[in-house]
Structure 1
């Protein structure tokens, strides 16, 4: 009984900085297990009618929150990603307090493991990050958002799936609002919370493809991936100025990467051959004189960076930071070529998706690489499509299938 009481007290302390009301017993309603067993009045009942201060919005339509004048300097979140999709209804018929306890319990027992590529990272994501969240509501909300999204994924065939989807949207929206209203700049004190927030926001952006009405099929996989990569680049650029603070902070373990290795001899033969074919195809193309085209040198540098990223991903223990290294280091011109859907740029994008395929399997990344490569194949004509034969093979697709699929869609010529 003493051990049980200690666990209850620890659970209450986690939310003490984020909730205005506090339960004096177990969290089940209308009576907690202990009070029901002892046949005493449950103190939770006296607080049942109180309005919690930490409540998901119930608006029928929420507009993206714009930063105030005080926070205009904060460009961490691109305006296009201020909300994934506005929440529409209040999920569940239970109190927000019980919802939050359920989501935090799920995060601390299950969801955190999805971000722990190494055993040494587990305590950071399971314990340290929630501790940081006690002082930063934006971090607490994004933790609850991704926990709800994970439950939604696990209960794919459950009739209650929609309610968790709404919870995920609501907490994500609250996370963005809280971040933009409280973080005007990254400081030594908030850098660790912002770092964790950036990671979870990126994972949530990947996982939000689950919100698609087409059973997880995205309408524009290329455009949606570019949105996530833009968020990633913006976040990493903002955090660079606070790197010294992060190295000395509680999340320093997540920054340890080891030496940079870029020797191509370390690559498996199939990867080396696939990248060599891409490079040979690129060098076989005539130089363009179009003033609006991406410079030849830009693609040369990007191809070299992609080679290096593959080597890094293969020579180190596999994790998602290595898989997402390439989008952080390539130039703005490369990103623009992807936005314009330039054929050469799309060929490069398809090969980058092979990195995503080879990264550790994660629920929030399910289907992304396959959908983007398929979308690229549909966007290119036959001449260009042969240049992505290797990425297509990786996802189990051949050129004949692609030719049939693209016959019903548009392609670049």
Structure 2
């Protein structure tokens, strides 16, 4: 016998059926290969949830930089099924434009992957990645670093596999949806476990991986807390779920500000990200930005009128100067966010700008269900509806707007007439957004 032996990727640390039969188990849920061939019940079937999961994963607190950053992930919607009516409207959840590979080539080796994980990796490379890679060439270059990071960082690999499984769960309208959702949760859980350990030891070697994982986590949060899981999320109001996503957005931004300047110089798109984060809350920057937007004449008159009306309403109904300032800043950021999406149609991440930058005082008012805060949220729903078309963000705007309308009385409901009209079928959008 010559040559080296072909290595196997199985282990005796498998299910009880394989241990009892003293055979190697491939440990691939929901049913390992041996049990699947024999038609036996596999231990891994118990790992795939059949009931809604409610408990959230504990928060991650970062101490290495002197800051306490709560980085939370909450898979409470994992057990829910998307209603058939939603699937009929958007199915399949696949990119409408030609797919673009982001670099998962044969030169990148991922050892110890079972057949199921290979399927997920292939789907991510050929399909899922195309659903969130921006059209900008420089941003695609940033995305192109994911394959290398996934090869050297287990938690990034789990992020990739989990995201791919979530996408497949949305694509499949049959019983496989529950299977893929369960697989996604397993990868997300494993990835979070490794991420918690790594994020407390931020250094130049792992900063790219931490940056990538935290960014992808935003997609998970939107997908797993989606309003279409309403039947399984009766304990949490839709607005609270959206605020939970907003909180994660802000914590991710806070995490990114702890990265050293050298990190943002390593890849071209990063300086733009850093500049957006550091300049976001500077009042002088906001004032000059508003002047530039006005001079550009890119924003439709309907949006200009919206911002003016909201500012006037704020002056009339808000007596407290602190609250009035919080509302005013939130309106300005909303206006700038509309402008950004008009200028860069199709870049879905810009729709999160409001969540990243709106004053924390405003978020508190929204949490308290203050009427004017709800009115501003309803106008943000118009931006979500016309400015995004990703599978993890679809339908958020309609569900949130319905929830807002149910909370407002007759005195306030008139102030959301435009948002309600703007998301109706057949409405002629004045925006330059790509739907």
Counterpart CA distance in 2 for 1:368 and 1:316 is: 21
SS in 2 for 1:287: coil
CA 1:216 to 1:389, structure 2 compared with 1: closer, same or farther past 3 Å?
farther
Residue in structure 1 matched with residue 221 of structure 2 by the alignment: 205
Contact in 1 for aligned 2:28/2:114 (Cα 8 Å): no
Contact in 1 for aligned 2:55/2:76 (Cα 8 Å): no
Residue in structure 2 matched with residue 345 of structure 1 by the alignment: 373
Contact in 2 for aligned 1:318/1:360 (Cα 8 Å): yes
Counterpart CA distance in 1 for 2:189 and 2:393 is: 21
CA 1:194 to 1:372, structure 2 compared with 1: closer, same or farther past 3 Å?
same
Q: Which residue of 312, 317, 338 corresponds with 1:285?
A: 317
Residue in structure 2 matched with residue 377 of structure 1 by the alignment: 405
Show structure 1 runs of 5+ residues with no match. 1-19, 24-46, 89-94, 398-413
Residue in structure 2 matched with residue 161 of structure 1 by the alignment: 177
SS in 1 for 2:152: coil
Say yes or no: does 1:109 pair with 2:126.
yes
Say yes or no: does 1:189 pair with 2:186.
no
Query: How big is the shift at 1:113?
Result: 0.7
Say how many residue pairs are matched.
342
Counterpart CA distance in 1 for 2:215 and 2:261 is: 18
Residue in structure 2 matched with residue 274 of structure 1 by the alignment: 306
CA 1:366 to 1:326, structure 2 compared with 1: closer, same or farther past 3 Å?
same
SS in 2 for 1:363: coil
**What is the CA RMSD across the aligned residues, in angstroms?**
3.7
Contact in 1 for aligned 2:264/2:270 (Cα 8 Å): no
CA 1:21 to 1:346, structure 2 compared with 1: closer, same or farther past 3 Å?
farther
TM-score (norm 2): 0.68
Show structure 2 runs of 5+ residues with no match. 1-6, 11-21, 31-43, 81-111, 277-284, 426-435
SS in 2 for 1:266: coil
Residue in structure 2 matched with residue 247 of structure 1 by the alignment: 264
Offset from partner CA, 1:355-408 (integer Å, 9 cap, x none): 2123231111010111111111111111111111121111129xxxxxxxxxxx
Counterpart CA distance in 1 for 2:26 and 2:67 is: 32
Q: Which residue of 169, 173, 192 corresponds with 1:176?
A: 192
Contact in 2 for aligned 1:21/1:52 (Cα 8 Å): no
CA 1:65 to 1:340, structure 2 compared with 1: closer, same or farther past 3 Å?
closer
CA 1:200 to 1:286, structure 2 compared with 1: closer, same or farther past 3 Å?
closer
Give 1:251-400 correspondences, 5 Å limit. 252-253=268-269, 256=272, 261-262=289-290, 263-264=293-294, 265-285=297-317, 287-288=319-320, 295-396=323-424
TM-score (norm 1): 0.72
Offset from partner CA, 1:238-282 (integer Å, 9 cap, x none): 1112152332335x4365479995323321122222222222222
CA 1:67 to 1:225, structure 2 compared with 1: closer, same or farther past 3 Å?
closer
Contact in 2 for aligned 1:144/1:168 (Cα 8 Å): yes
Counterpart CA distance in 2 for 1:70 and 1:300 is: 32
Query: How big is the shift at 1:311?
Result: 2.0
